[in-house]
Structure 1
Amino acid sequence: MEKILILAALPDKLRLDKEIREIEEAIKRAVKRDSYEIKIRTAVRPQDIRRALAEERPSIVHFCGHGLEDGSLLLEDESGNHKPVLPRGLVLLFRLHTDYVKCVLLNSCYSFDAAEAISQHINYVIGINQPIEDKAAIVFAQGFYDGLGYDNINDQQVIQRAYDEGIVAIELENILQNAVPSLWENGILCSQPIVKVIPVSYSNTKTPESRQQPPPSDDLSSDRGGDYTKLRNFLKAGQWFEADEETLAVMLKVSGRQTEGWLDNTSIENFPKTDLRIIDQLWVESSNGRFGFSVQKKIYIEVGGIANGKYDEDVWDKFRHRVGWKVNGTSIDYSGVIFSTTAPVGHLPAKCCRKMPKDARHSWSNRVVNRIVVRLS
């Protein structure tokens, strides 16, 4: 029997009791209801989460509560006050429980960053890119656990099926708006609904007033006038060289760096996340998960890179070998880049990280990759 561990924290203006009840009822109705056991912890503190994971050894961990814009989950301290827990702490925690935790669902605002980081260690992780209305969070949970309990038809992946059911549930209620529950599988963003939405006003706040509706986010809508049509068309056609050239061109345009012809730290730090994720999603989808910034980010973290902008020759050397930018100890120039799906995973895009000042080639490339890691979070 698989355990579902529900962790509920700080119900300020949230119906966490209703969310928990909907999960319980969904499992009770399920065809496979005898396959799951639900364990619940409420008013959780950091030590409560740590102990609950060790004691229960769950297969699925479901967090419901508030999230902050920096990716933190908001828990309680000993006095019942707000206690933010940063994504780094959550990553370190779940690294200790990879033997049995197979899915983590962070059903809270701004949980995209934490979910992406945790996905480096847990097979399936779901997070949400923006504030989410409380009703939408509850309906998504209801649909997810409905789907979890269905018969597995044609060997469809259970978590993917449950995720799809959750998306359908909130779409049918017409309450998805712009908050996007996204699913990672083994560190790769594999499911992110793209919907046309009607812009809504919202209050952007770092305090847990409510799970609100976020600003609009369309599939190719740039925050700074970038046009991704050509990039999409190149990628769909498998024209990898043209797509790589276009990636740099559109990033320079969005950054206002067309005259310089290369990206500096400031331009990347100020590069809109919406645009960066559009570029990444187009690459990932067109290459079946082989290419893209998020793929490079996963590799960069695996070889010891951290999102702090510091240059580390050893880490950078390992990264270049992994993605094929360095072969048998020798760095390749741009003419040696492989524009084919036979290239190593993470090989592309390449030019945006390799076009740089001549007097700072290696260190500059590393900093570009590092800052993209930060901005993609």
Structure 2
Amino acid sequence: MNKKLLALAMSLVMVMTLITGCGKEKSSYFKEIAKLEEMNTGTSTTELALELPGDKADLKFLLDDKGNTSVKVKLDYTVESETKIAAKISAKLGTNEYGELTTFVLDGNKLYIDLGTLTETIKKIDEESGKEYQELLKQIGAKKYVSFDLKQLGEALKTDLTLNMDKDKKETAVQMVKDIATTLEKDFKDLQGQDGDDYTLTINEKNASKAVDALDAFCKNDVKTLYNKIIDGYIKILGSDTDMGKQFAEMKKDTKSVDEIAKGISDKDKKEVVDTIKKGKVNAVSKINVSGKEGSRVAKWSLDTGNIKVDTEDLKGNVKVNITSEFKEGKASIKDSVPSDAVDLTAFITSMVNQIGSLDSEDLIQ
């Protein structure tokens, strides 16, 4: 091949490479987190595993075969839309197998809760308490499910308990997540990385000082601005004329706690936190990856703390937390999860509210 032609071909390849590279924005841990807010329908499974040292007599049902306190909780949920959601909660305590705890189903304004299965679980842990709850269910005529009309309860409580959101409110919710992700992206950029196709966020002995400095920068530079943006978002979503909206407006006026955080972390506290991370042999790694085309994406997120060495008066030994979550985007239906024999307690609860008087929004938050 002629040298001039070869040089021209190489130049074209370089130009095409640059064009291709510029057209694809590099992602990151927090950018992937922001993508999750765009995934509105589908199915998901989240599992949390907690291991603690301990052999307290009253917690023997939580001990595994190594003598550690072991608890695993699994959440399986289906999202058909923002007002049609089914969530089943299961748990594995100690050496037992996974067992269902309860199920929540939101079908429009109607919320269903499986108290029957929850009562059976309580009986296995504390038979006397379980029997008391079982008797209470009999008194209200419920075998398994009870239900509440959120719209009616909201009217009695003078606040909106429903999840109905118009386009403007949805955009506000999405923007809130983007604002959070953008801010954290900037402040914690030195803790981010990549492991194969996974984007990572890591805190360990090596970057302990960077992690604490990043938290200090976030507190000093961004926490107050971000706090106000989030409060404004909630006021817009809840409605400024509702009791809950007014409560959030009051929270925005009272800035004492936020001002305290915005002072940042003192040098003494920084050293203590860094020493704690190092002494605890902390190696916490969170990973996320969102793959596939819009409408059928799969998001995988995880957090693994590894064994954290703890030496306190109440706790000595290793503590470990592991969380894994997978969300598969796509069409989903909760039709088969909606119970047909639930006892509606709306009138009963509404009557109680009317007798007591409208509950203060602050009580609801607490």
Q: TM-score, normalised by structure 1?
A: 0.22
Whose strand fraction is larger, Structure 1's or Structure 2's? 2
Q: TM-score, normalised by structure 2?
A: 0.23
Which one has the largest radius of gyration?
2
